C-alpha cells in the first residue's frame, strides 16, 4: 500500500494539498506576551500575512475547559477561516506557544443519557432479528454441514455481539454459495427467492450493487449502458454517500435513527447491528476530552460526535470516497509551534529554514521490539511489523543510512550519533538520551503519554525532552490515545522523505483520527527533503513495473 501511495504522489500531483504561508491562520494567546512574540516571529520568518494572526483570550495553562474552547478560542479562529475561504483559499491553523494542549470533557446532556439506554435496547433488538434470519436461512439450505450451535434442540442460547456478527457473515456466505450451486428451476424458484430475500435483509443492497458495478466494469457498448441505468445503482450511490458523509461526523442522538435506516438499505441488518453496537460503546465510555489541536480540526463542521475519535478525512485511505471533498471542505489541518520555552518554539522554525536548502542529512534510527504473534490491527505485533516494513522499504529505495534495532530494549544512552530521523517504542514517559540530533531532525516515540506536557519542569515525556534535546519536529498524544491512533511509520516517513509535501500535510495524510489525542509539533511548512529527496517515487514505480 505504501508503494502505491508514494507513486501516487508523482502520478497525481493534484493529491498534493499545496499548503502555503498565505493559508496559515496563526493563533496566539493574548493573555501571554510570549505567545504573541512567537506568533509574530513565525509570521515574519515565513511571511504569513499580518491579517492571518488571530489573538484569543484563553487559559494560559496546558488545559482549558470546554466552555473556554467553545466561547473564546473557536469563534475568532472560525471567523478568520471563513474570510480566507471567501477569498478562495484553503486555510490551515497553527497554534503557537501559549495555547493549551488539552480541552476538557463535554457535559452529558439528557439526550446523551437517554441515547445511551436506546443503544443498549437497539443492540439487543437487532441481535435477535439477525439470529432469527440466520436460523431461517440455515434451515432453507439442505445438507448444511456442521450445524451451528443455535440449532441445539431445547436450548436458548445467547451470544456477544461480535459472535452474532461472525455467525451472520458465515450464514451469508453459505447462502450465497448455495445460490451459485443451485440451478434456477421453476420448482425451486420459491425457495431460491426466499433465500435471496433473507440475504438482502441480512446484508442490504451492497453485495448486489458491487456485483453490478463489477459486471459493468467488464462490459461495454449497449450492455454497459443498460447496466448504468439500473436504478439500484443510483439508489445505492445516494444512500451510501449519505452514510459515508455521516461517518466523518459520528453518531449523534438526533440523527441516529435516520442514519441507521440508510445503513439498513446499504448494509442490511448486519450493518445496522454494527452501527448500534458502535454507538453503545461510544456513549457508554463517553471519552470527550481531546487535544486542542485535534478538536480544532472540526470548528467548521457544525455538530459532531464528541464521544471518542472520528476518522480523519485527509487520511489517504479515504481518498477515493465520492463524498470526501465535501467532508474535507469542512475540516481543517491543525499544527503547533510550541515547546518548553518560547526560545525552543522559535528554534523550530529556524531549524526548518536552515535545513531546507541543503536537505536533512544523517542516520535514520528505527527501534523495533522483535515481536512475534498475530498482527491484529492495533496490536503490539502489528505495529512492530510496520516498523520492520519501513526498514525494508528504506533498504530498498533510500540511500539514507539506517540503523534498525530489533531487540526488546531501547537504544542505550549515547548510542545514536548523527540522528536525522527516528521512530521507536516503548518507554512510557521516560526519554532515553540515546541521540545526538542533527539540526532539522524529525522523529517520534510511540507511547501513551509523550505530549501530556511540554512545560512541566522535570518531566521526561518524549516530546518535551526531544524538543529540549534538539529535534525540529515531533508528535505525540496528550492522553491515552491507543496504539492505532499514531501515524504508521511506514506511511509517515516515506511520504515525508519524498520532499513533495509539507510536514503538516504529511501528518494529516497519515494520522488516523481527529477529535482525539495526537498533536504535531514543528513548523507546519517544513519540507526537510524538498531539495534533496531521500526517497524517489520514480524509482519505486520502476521497481513495481519490473515486478509485473
Phi, psi (5° rounding) for residue 284?
Answer: -75, -45
Q: Is residue 307 part of a domain?
A: no
- How is residue 89 written as a grid cell? 483559499
pLDDT given at position 226: 46
pLDDT given at position 158: 67
CB 408 within 8 Å of CB 369: yes
- Please tell me whether residues 122 and 271 are part of one structural domain: yes
- Please tell me whether residues 248 and 372 are part of one structural domain: no
pLDDT given at position 224: 44
**C-beta neighbour count of 189 within 10 angstroms:** 10
Parent domain of 48: 2-106+326-547
- How is residue 333 written as a grid cell? 489541518
Query: Residue 56: beta bridge partners?
Result: 29
Distance in angstroms between the alpha carbons of the first and the last residue of the chain: 16
Alpha-helical segments (H) within 369-441 = 380-397
pLDDT given at position 11: 53
Q: Is residue 316 part of a domain?
A: no
**Which residues lie closer than 8 Å to 57 by C-beta, 6 or more apart?**
29, 30, 31, 72
Give the Cα separation of 121 and 70 in Å (integer): 33
CB 127 within 8 Å of CB 273: yes
- Please tell me whether residues 144 and 95 are part of one structural domain: no
SS3 (DSSP) at 182? coil
- Please tell me whether residues 278 and 411 are part of one structural domain: no
The stretches in the chain having pLDDT less than 70 are: 1-17, 142-158, 184, 187-188, 206-241, 541-548
* Cis ω before 404 (30° cut-off from 0): no
Label residue 431 exposed, middle or buried (CB < 10 Å: 0-12, 13-18, 19+).
buried
Give the Cα separation of 371 and 384 in Å (integer): 6
Q: Is residue 141 part of a domain?
A: yes
**C-beta neighbour count of 508 within 10 angstroms:** 29
Q: Is residue 291 part of a domain?
A: no
pLDDT given at position 236: 42
CB 305 within 8 Å of CB 252: yes
pLDDT given at position 176: 80
Helical (H) or strand (E) element with 103: strand 102-103
- Please tell me whether residues 35 and 182 are part of one structural domain: no
- Please tell me whether residues 131 and 76 are part of one structural domain: no
- Please tell me whether residues 279 and 343 are part of one structural domain: no
Amino acid at each position: 500500500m505504501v508503494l502505491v501511495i508514494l507513486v501516487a504522489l508523482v502520478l497525481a500531483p493534484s493529491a498534493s494539498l499545496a499548503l502555503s504561508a498565505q493559508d496559515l491562520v496563526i493563533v496566539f494567546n493574548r493573555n501571554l506576551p510570549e505567545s504573541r512574540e512567537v506568533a509574530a516571529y513565525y509570521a515574519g520568518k515565513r511571511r504569513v500575512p499580518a491579517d492571518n494572526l488571530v489573538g484569543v483570550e484563553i487559559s494560559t495553562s496546558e488545559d482549558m475547559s470546554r466552555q473556554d474552547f467553545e466561547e473564546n478560542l473557536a469563534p475568532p479562529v472560525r471567523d478568520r477561516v471563513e474570510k480566507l475561504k471567501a477569498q478562495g483559499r484553503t486555510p490551515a491553523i497553527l497554534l503557537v506557544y501559549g495555547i493549551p494542549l488539552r480541552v476538557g470533557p463535554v457535559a452529558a446532556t439528557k439526550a446523551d443519557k437517554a441515547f445511551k439506554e436506546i443503544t443498549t435496547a437497539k443492540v439487543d433488538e437487532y441481535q435477535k432479528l439477525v439470529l432469527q434470519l440466520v436460523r431461517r436461512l440455515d434451515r432453507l439450505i439442505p445438507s448444511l454441514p456442521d450445524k451451528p450451535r443455535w440449532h441445539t434442540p431445547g436450548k436458548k442460547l445467547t451470544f456477544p455481539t461480535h459472535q452474532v456478527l461472525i455467525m451472520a457473515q458465515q450464514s451469508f456466505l453459505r447462502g450465497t454459495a448455495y445460490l451459485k450451486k443451485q440451478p434456477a428451476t421453476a420448482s425451486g424458484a420459491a425457495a431460491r427467492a426466499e433465500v435471496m430475500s433473507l440475504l438482502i435483509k441480512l446484508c442490504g443492497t451492497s453485495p448486489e450493487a458491487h456485483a453490478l458495478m463489477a459486471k459493468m466494469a467488464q462490459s461495454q457498448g449497449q450492455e454497459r449502458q443498460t447496466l448504468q441505468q439500473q436504478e439500484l445503482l443510483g439508489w445505492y450511490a445516494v444512500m451510501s454517500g449519505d452514510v459515508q458523509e455521516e461517518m466523518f461526523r459520528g453518531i449523534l442522538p438526533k440523527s441516529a435513527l435516520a442514519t441507521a435506516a440508510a445503513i439498513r438499505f446499504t448494509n442490511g441488518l448486519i450493518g445496522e447491528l454494527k452501527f448500534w453496537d458502535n454507538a453503545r460503546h461510544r456513549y457508554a465510555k463517553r471519552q470527550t476530552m481531546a487535544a486542542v489541536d485535534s478538536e480544532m480540526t472540526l470548528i467548521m463542521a457544525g455538530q459532531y460526535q464528541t464521544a471518542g475519535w472520528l476518522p480523519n478525512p485527509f487520511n489517504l485511505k479515504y481518498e477515493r470516497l465520492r463524498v470526501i471533498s465535501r467532508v474535507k471542505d469542512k475540516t481543517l489541518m491543525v499544527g503547533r509551534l510550541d515547546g518548553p520555552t518560547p526560545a525552543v518554539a522559535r528554534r523550530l522554525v529556524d531549524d526548518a529554514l536552515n535545513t531546507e536548502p541543503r536537505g536533512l542529512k544523517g542516520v535514520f534510527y528505527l527501534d523495533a521490539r522483535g515481536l512475534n504473534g498475530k498482527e491484529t490491527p492495533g496490536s503490539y505485533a502489528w505495529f512492530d511489523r510496520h516498523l520492520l516494513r519501513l526498514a525494508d522499504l528504506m533498504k530498498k529505495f533510500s540511500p539514507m543510512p539506517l540503523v534498525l534495532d530489533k531487540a526488546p530494549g531501547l537504544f542505550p544512552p549515547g548510542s545514536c550519533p548523527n540522528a536525522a530521523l527516528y521512530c521507536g517504542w516503548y518507554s512510557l514517559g521516560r526519554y532515553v538520551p540515546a541521540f545526538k540530533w542533527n539540526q532539522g531532525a524529525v522523529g517520534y516515540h510511540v507511547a501513551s503519554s509523550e505530549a501530556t506536557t511540554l512545560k512541566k519542569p522535570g518531566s521526561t515525556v518524549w516530546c518535551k525532552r526531544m524538543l529540549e534535546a534538539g529535534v525540529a519536529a515531533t508528535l505525540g498524544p496528550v492522553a491515552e490515545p491507543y496504539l492505532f491512533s499514531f501515524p504508521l511509520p511506514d506511511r509517515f516517513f516515506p511520504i515525508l522523505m519524498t520532499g513533495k509535501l509539507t510536514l503538516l500535510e504529511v501528518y494529516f495524510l497519515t494520522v488516523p483520527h481527529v477529535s482525539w489525542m495526537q498533536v504535531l509539533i514543528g513548523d507546519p511548512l517544513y519540507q526537510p527533503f524538498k531539495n534533496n529527496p531521500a526517497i524517489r517515487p520514480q524509482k519505486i514505480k520502476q521497481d513495481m513495473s519490473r515486478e509485473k
